[in-house]
Chains A and B, each alone.
Chain A
Amino acid sequence: MATPKPPSASDRQAKIQAAQKSQGSGANKIVVATVVVVVAIIAVVGGVVWSQSQKEAATGTSTAVPAGASMGKGYPAFAGVTAAAGAPTVDLYEDFQCPVCGQFEAALGSTFQDLASQGKVKLNYHVLNFLDDKTGAKNSTPAANGAFCAAADGKFQEFHDAAFADQVAEGEDVTDDKLAAWAGTAGITGDALTTWQKCVADGTYTRYVTSVNEAAFKVPGFQGTPTVMINGEMVDLGTIGTPELLTQAIEDATT
């Protein structure tokens, strides 16, 4: 009586189909692959676009360059001084955030400036900002802007010296108050101070500084700051470590 009915052909078909479905374990490989590829492309392309915008924000769009300089080129200090015939060109690469640059300036900064103001060297400052990208701090770039905004008022040197004498630690932000304090030390006042403040707030020289930074790292053998070049030759800092050694090296380079 209770003999089970032999399964009909259509029953079999349904079972085979069900089995085939469950063999795929539910997920369609092509669908999953498409989703993964799309997500991966969005992640990479989105990442590039985001990085690019971050870079542009860090670079700025202003085409302003300080007097006597151009994009990628150093800033000629003591432009009013006529250098003696045969005086060597000295290129100084510094980053306001670099602690060794602070020590270097404390030891030799005034000697460089004396030599330049006496016309014994043609002094170019290459102010870099690579440490901002490296440390993530807003330090080198605002400080560099502060210096070149001060240059518009003829106070580059004063601001530069103030910033190194009262240097902000590597990895820490340079605040607006700190910038204002350096401007005060540099002697920027009155209308010039208002102009300076707007210049700093606008990041007027950010693009210039970034261009100088990029150019510096394309110099063969350039590793970072401080770097000194006399007549285009990179100098081992140990050989000019004291004011006497530096003065001697400059005399030797004078033709």
Chain B
Amino acid sequence: MSTEMDDATPVAVVEPPPAGRERVLDAVGLVLRLFLGAVLIYAGATKIGHPLTSQRAVQAYELLPDGLANTIGLALPFVEVVLGVLLVLGLFTRPAAIAATVLMVAFVIGISQAWARGLTIDCGCFGGGGQIGASETKYPQEIARDVVFALAGVWLWWRPRSLASLDRILFGP
């Protein structure tokens, strides 16, 4: 008897089962993680293998010197895929979510400044990009879409806990 007691005392960190509300929030976290992760993986994958198009898409924002724009054009697709994979796996969810949110906010700023300056470009968010006709621009839709992605990022930043995450499996609840 007493030995059993003794075994349990120092280890007394057995989690109470999460309350119903907590479990729902964890499920929401899982859905948002998979959503944002899948979006990022898709966005990166469609650009990989099209280095010139990708660089031209960044140049079209007319925000950065060509050298830097070209480097970003080459690196961004891989950054997106890496962040997407981390989110899908739920590994270091908070840092990945912070990075994804910052990225989305940067995209919103980039698109907004292009719109405000009267450039007529495609955001190149999912491949393509570059100058297009004035009537073909979709700035409000592109910004709204990235804001939705940013909000998913903010949620995971604020509450990175979610179901079926590597964070939980590796580091405990």
Residues of chain A at the chain B interface (Cβ within 8 Å): 4, 7, 15-16, 19, 22-27, 29, 32-33, 36, 40, 43-44, 46-48, 51-52, 54-55, 58, 130, 133-134, 136, 210, 213, 217-218, 220-223
Contact = CB atoms under 8 A, between A and B. Distances in A.
Which size class do B's interface residues fall under?
35 or more
Contact of B132 (A4, A40, A223): A223
A47 B52 contact: no
A103 to B, nearest CB: 19
Q: Please indicate which of the listed interface residues A7, A51, A52, A223 has the most CB atoms of chain B within 10 Å of its own CB.
A: A51
B32 to A, nearest CB: 20
A25 B130 CA distance: 49
B130 A217 contact: yes
Given A44-B75, A217-B131, A221-B131, A16 B10 contact: yes
Contacts of A29: 170-171
Contacts of B74: 47-48, 51-52, 55
A24 B170 CA distance: 8
A134 B53 contact: yes
14 contacts: A4-B2, A15-B10, A22-B11, A23-B11, A27-B171, A33-B92, A36-B86, A47-B75, A48-B71, A48-B75, A134-B128, A213-B52, A217-B59, A223-B131
Chain B residues touching A, majority SS: helix
B82 A43 contact: yes
Given A23-B172, A223-B133, A4 B3 contact: yes
A126 to B, nearest CB: 15
A97 B53 CA distance: 16
Given A19-B10, A29-B171, A133-B50, A48 B2 contact: no
Q: Please indicate which of the listed interface residues B13, B78, B79 has the most CB atoms of chain A within 10 Å of its own CB.
A: B78
